[in-house]
Amino acid sequence: MSIIYNEKNQTFHLFNDSISYIMTVLPNGHMGQLYFGKRIRPREDYSHLLEISPRSMSSCVFEDSPLSMEHVRCEYGSYGASDYRFPAVELLQENGSRISDFCYTSHTITPGKPKLAGLPATYTEDDSEAETLTLVLTDRVAGVQLELLYTLFANGGILARSARFSNVGGQTVHLQKAMSLCLDLPDCNYDWIQLSGSWARERFPKVRRLESGIQSVGSMRGHSSHEHNPFIVLKRPAADEFQGEVMGFSLIYSGNFLAQAEVDTHNTTRVLMGIHPEWFDWKLEPGDTFQTPEAVIVYTDRGLNDMSQTFHNLYRRRLARGYWRDRPRPILINNWEATYFDFTEEKLLTIARTAKECGVELFVLDDGWFGQRCSDHAGLGDWMANTDRLPGGITGIAEKIEAMGMKFGLWFEPEMVNKDSDLYRTHPDWILAVPERRQSPGRHQHVLDFSRKEVVDYICSMMTDILSNAKISYVKWDMNRSITECWSSALAADRQGEVFHRYILGVYDLYERLTTAFPEILFESCAGGGGRFDPGLLYYAPQGWTSDDTDAIERLKIQYGTSYCYPISSMGSHVSVTPNHQVGRSTPLHTRANVAYFGTFGYELDLNLLSAEELAQVRDQVEFMKKYRELLQFGTFYRLESPFDGNITAWMTVSDSRDRAVVGWYRALNTANAPYTRLRLQGLDPNRLYKVREGDYCLGEFYGDELMYTGLITSDESLRDVPDSRKSAGDFDSRIYILE
């Protein structure tokens, strides 16, 4: 790993064993991009990579030079001074101009990685893990200094980027666009992949070719959203899961975002990623500083799986933090789909007792335990136990659960309020709402103004009181609506463009306070399921509720898509009731568990309604998960067969030493007279002999090269004319293979 500056040529080369990133100071003082990709050997002069030629209809920077910013690759593009592409920055000055001219002033190269004030970001535990280049650029007329931060990690094709603006002049300016990342690429021969969907079908991969014009995804909902994730991929058309050039772009942020690729008519591509510029306007008075969120780029020439594994390792080990970062997650049972709001303490304890008998380790009390919360119409904001339901309060039920030998967890939705609540009646001005305009409820609730410190302080005080006085080991932090009428009564008119971002900073502040005060509590983020499943929250909560859709077959798609960027240890995944409450489908109990194993694992049903035979299955499932959860949650994950391409889904996780693996195989619909089938495995040691088991049945012993190159035979009873009814599972079948 090294960052080299050639003073004579004013060229920077960032490189490790995997990648090179090369840029230079252009003749006008701006930074130019020369190369990003697979590592190339260091040399003194890369000037041949900068092509400047006269072109018709171009506007030039100098009278006697053909340099036009439209036709060079810029490091942080700005519009209006010969570059006509979408810019990375837009700065409104007192004279009404938005023209900026950020020129190189200086730079520093430091070991390790600096923290970003008030924002989640990747980190290092030792300075040898990374090196950081800070480029200092100055717009002399506007009086604004721009620092571009580049952190090169020692291992893997990882580059983290962000930008920091400081008003060092005498005039007030408005930052109206501030991207975390701008990357100009020399061609457009890429497929674009985004993760999109909606509530209950989040993060489905969508693929299309880059074409001239704009391709983008984003959110203007106040959160990263169910609809689009702050993550995109550019891959060469021939690249697949196991080979070819791939670049992944991920934004460590939970609010409004934009991820965009612009292809110009000369086939160059500009990638932008950062806070969405719509509704964003940050007032920078003299002396003020603004830090953008961090964006992470991963490059590989070994396919999509390698890109994903790089993100998994980075986000699991150097984004997630704290006590639970490296610990296997407890197996839990959540009462929501078992009872919804219809519960008593005794009913909860009855569910908990049966769960304990099955080996479950954590009981989670979901919505309905506080205030007058007997439905979703009332009570949000009143974080005090309803003693009609819980006579001993949260302290009492937590002690009873602990006495059973289980841990106790609790649900909160701290960012929201019902109008039918004591909080709203006392502080009606604490919601985001525009005076004299309609207020648009969602799920009968409104959004608290977390841009205001006093609001965050109040909620923090209530939550701290509960967490301090009860034996609570887990918190599920929910958020069940998007932001509408985004206006704060605490901010002046010329600062209303700051509310969306200040809101997210308030959320981060509350997370930081609580996770610092209660470092051994396991926090799980949730937002109506997967509406804020993003890297920003992974910094505070090492796992998230992946989706409100708990149907096993739908979860194959959701968890498969999520794995493009996010580690298995971050995916909340439960076995739920059947027929499923979201889609009405009935799936076998073993398939529900076989999908949920590849995540944090738990149950979301009333175990007392199961038969003795089903309870025996649950006990076996819990025992299996306890035996293999460290491998499942922290092993190297491979996608093998996509649910978006056919009837079969398959994936696997392999131990670091490659001596063990768990393979999940899933078939949506059964077929008649089926063909012979094989599944090519990945990541094994080709020279080792593996014993392969399905349940208690040993399928044989096979070398790793055979399993990877000829494949694991998965043919079953469906290919026989008269299947053995004792072995035929029908639709929604699945299997788990153990390799040792």
Three-state DSSP class for residue 21? strand
CA separation for the pair 203, 230 (Å, rounded): 10
Look at residue 556 in the predicted model and tell me its pLDDT.
98
Q: Encode pLDDT of 578-612 as tens digits.
A: 999 999 999 999 999 999 999 999 999 999 999 99
Strand intervals (E) in 265-314: 269-275, 282-284, 289-291, 294-300
Q: For residue 716, name the pLDDT band (cuts at 50, 70, 90).
A: confident
CA separation for the pair 404, 182 (Å, rounded): 55
Q: Are 215 and 253 in contact (CB under 8 A)?
A: no
CA distances (Å), origin 16, targets 64, 250, 311? 39, 20, 17
Q: For residue 719, name the pLDDT band (cuts at 50, 70, 90).
A: low
Structure tokens at 623: 């025992």
- Is beta strand 543-545 parallel, antiparallel or unpaired with respect to 522-525? parallel
Q: Are 180 and 303 in contact (CB under 8 A)?
A: no
Look at residue 726 in the predicted model and tell me its pLDDT.
43
Q: Are 377 and 444 in contact (CB under 8 A)?
A: yes
CA separation for the pair 215, 209 (Å, rounded): 10
Q: For residue 693, name the pLDDT band (cuts at 50, 70, 90).
A: very high
Of 73, 72, 138, nearest in space to 103 by CA: 138
> Is 478 among the catalytic positions?
yes
CA distances (Å), origin 240, targets 188, 298, 305, 666, 684? 18, 16, 8, 21, 19
Kindly tell me if the per-residue pLDDT of 725 is higher than 50: no
Provide the percentage of residues in the chain whose pLDDT is more than 90. Answer: 94
Kindly tell me if the per-residue pLDDT of 47 is higher than 80: yes
Amino acid at 696: D
Look at residue 729 in the predicted model and tell me its pLDDT.
65
- What stretch of H or E contains 512? helix 499-517
Q: Encode pLDDT of 307-350 as tens digits.
A: 999 999 999 999 999 999 999 999 999 999 999 999 999 999 99
The three state secondary structure string of 165-204 is EEECCCCCEEEEEEEEEEEEECCCCCEEEEEEEECCEEEE
Q: For residue 683, name the pLDDT band (cuts at 50, 70, 90).
A: very high
Query: Stretch 200-209: mean pLDDT, rounded?
Result: 98
**Counts for the chain of helices (H) and strands (E), in that order:** 12, 39
Q: Encode pLDDT of 51-74 as tens digits.
A: 888 788 888 888 888 888 889 999
CA separation for the pair 620, 626 (Å, rounded): 10
Look at residue 65 in the predicted model and tell me its pLDDT.
85
CA separation for the pair 89, 28 (Å, rounded): 17
Of 228, 219, 234, nearest in space to 277 by CA: 219
Structure tokens at 724: 């053995």
Amino acid at 533: F
Provide the percentage of residues in the chain whose pLDDT is more than 70. Answer: 98
Look at residue 554 in the predicted model and tell me its pLDDT.
98
Query: Stretch 135-156: mean pLDDT, rounded?
Result: 98
**Catalytic residue chosen out of the listed positions 420, 478, 716, 733:** 478
Q: For residue 722, name the pLDDT band (cuts at 50, 70, 90).
A: low
Q: Encode pLDDT of 448-469 as tens digits.
A: 999 999 999 999 999 999 999 9
Kindly tell me if the per-residue pLDDT of 723 is higher than 80: no
Q: Encode pLDDT of 70-124 as tens digits.
A: 899 999 999 999 999 999 999 999 999 999 999 999 999 999 999 999 999 999 9
Question: How many residues in the chain?
Answer: 740
**Catalytic residue chosen out of the listed positions 83, 139, 534, 548:** 548
CA separation for the pair 223, 536 (Å, rounded): 11
> Is 382 among the catalytic positions?
no
CA separation for the pair 89, 245 (Å, rounded): 29
Q: Encode pLDDT of 225-276 as tens digits.
A: 999 999 999 999 999 999 999 999 999 999 999 999 999 999 999 999 999 9
Radius of gyration of the chain (CA): 27
**Residue entry with tokens 């003073």:** 7
Q: Are 574 and 360 in contact (CB under 8 A)?
A: no
Q: Encode pLDDT of 486-531 as tens digits.
A: 999 999 999 999 999 999 999 999 999 999 999 999 999 999 999 9
Would you give the DSSP letter of residue 499? H
Look at residue 57 in the predicted model and tell me its pLDDT.
87
Kindly tell me if the per-residue pLDDT of 297 is higher than 60: yes
Look at residue 271 in the predicted model and tell me its pLDDT.
98
Burial class from Cβ neighbours inside 10 Å (0-12, 13-18, 19+) for residue 724 reads exposed
CA separation for the pair 661, 654 (Å, rounded): 4
The three state secondary structure string of 365-401 is ECCCCECCCCCCCECCCCCCECCCCCCCHHHHHHHHH
Angle at 226 between CA 339 and CA 157, to 5 degrees: 120
Torsion of CA 419, 422, 428, 431, to 10 degrees: -60
Look at residue 52 in the predicted model and tell me its pLDDT.
87
